[in-house]
Structure 1
Amino acid sequence: MVISRKNYRCRLCGLFLRRSCPTSKALANHKGWGISHQRRSDRKTMAAYEINVNKADINYAGPDGEALPLDVMGLFFFAYRDFTGDADAMLGHQGFGRAHHRVLYFVCLRPGMPVADLLDILKITKQSLARVLRQLIDHGYVEQKTGRSDRRQRLLFATDKGREFFATLSATQASRINAAIASLPADSRKTVARFLAGMVDPADRATLERLNLTIGL
């Protein structure tokens, strides 16, 4: 395709455009971004048009003026990607996803957990949880029992098959965590745990305590 003045390829969105790129327009209007499509005729090997970003114009400060912790945010993204990726393939073979893994985790962590508590922890709709639970129950990983004191309660327990599958899912994740902590100074485990607990919404701190996730912090 011939690239002319009225027909060029945008390096932001990758599309061939006739006039101006809506993506670059939106970014150009965003405070702190200095972006423009500019004709380059000084080098034959360059594309007819390219995006020039003035990095000095990029504003990495938050609304309150504080510098954004982009390094920690990026590291958190990559760590979470690889942490969850370890189990994704095994879940996929069973036709499951991360929602099934989360349910298994909490049911194994606290056998007999009421469905209502699980809903409050996962922050998902009843319909979504019902679908995930039905699949786990039908495949024999979780069983549901009626509460003794309150017959309206539905209590969740992992079966032997469910506990075994959870142990398999957790093996590589545990190894990744232990290897990362082993490379840190002594007693860093508590520091890491405090950091993660500090990331949790204050309204859920009591839930962490009930689940015994903050013992000794």
Structure 2
Amino acid sequence: MTLSPSRDAAGADLLFLREERLRLAQTLMFLVGRDMAEAVAPVLEEVGLGRAHHRVLQALAFSPGIPVTHLQDILGVTKQSLGRTLHELEARQYLETRRGRNDKRQKLLYLSTAGKAAEARLFAVVRQRLVTAYREAGGTAVEGFRRVMRGMLSEHSRSLLAEEPSGRREVSHGS
């Protein structure tokens, strides 16, 4: 597999829908996923966590105070699988649970101070990669990237972004 960066500016030609360009995009997404997993692996190993734990930390950083069922929906995992991961995070004191205000049976999930610190260390690795790539690409390309990523989301995933309870919304500020 040969990956050579395009010499033309993003969207400069009208041939971006050609099969080879689409396959290259698929390959790039695969490699980015693999490389990002490799980049955070040393931090995960150091804190004694796995990828499932990382996914939970990411989701709770994005949506603090969500019910377990909503987290299960976001991650697309079984209740049993999520339960094991949540118990491990609770045992390590990375996770706090609180009762719902209106429904006391509801279990709301938050990162503890230790959980926030672990998630911040993991995000620092991701942030550095993003900052480097964003600076190299420039604001116009970053906005195009966001549009492409949003365009690839299913309606269900888009609704998860729209429901994000922490009050934060993506704001475009250029690069």
* Deviation (angstroms), 1:144: 0.9
Displacement, 1:92?
Answer: 2.2
Change beyond 3 A, Cα 1:213–1:124: farther
Correspondence for 2:86: 133
1:67 aligns with 2:19: yes
Structure 1 gap segments, 5+ residues each:
1-65
Matching residue of 1:191: 144
1:98 and 2:34 matched: no
- Bigger strand share: 1
> Which runs of structure 2 are paired with 1:1-217 in the superposition (5 Å)?
67=19, 69-211=22-164, 212=168, 214-215=170-171
The TM-score with structure 1 as length reference comes to: 0.65
| Structure number, greater radius of gyration | 1
SS of the residue 1:163 aligns to: helix
What letter corresponds to residue 69 of structure 2 in structure 1? A
Displacement of 1:210: 2.0
Instruction: Measure the CA separation in 2 of the matches of 1:133 and 1:209.
Output: 24
Contact 1:114/1:153 (8 A) holds in 2: yes
User: How many angstroms apart in 1 are the aligned matches of 2:74 and 2:171?
Assistant: 19
Instruction: List 4+ stretches of structure 1 deviating above 4 A.
Output: 212-216
Provide structure 2 residue ranges, at least 5 long, that are not aligned to the other structure: 1-17
TM-score (norm. length: structure 2) = 0.79
Letter in 1 for 2:19: A
CA RMSD in angstroms, aligned pairs only: 1.9
Q: Is the 8 A contact 1:209 1:215 kept in 2?
A: no
Q: Percent identity, please.
A: 33
Structure number with the higher helix fraction is: 2
Q: 1:185 to 1:215 in 2, by over 3 A?
A: closer
Secondary structure at 2:102's aligned position in 1? coil
Change in 2 beyond 3 A, CA 1:162/1:146: same
Corresponding residue pairs, total: 152
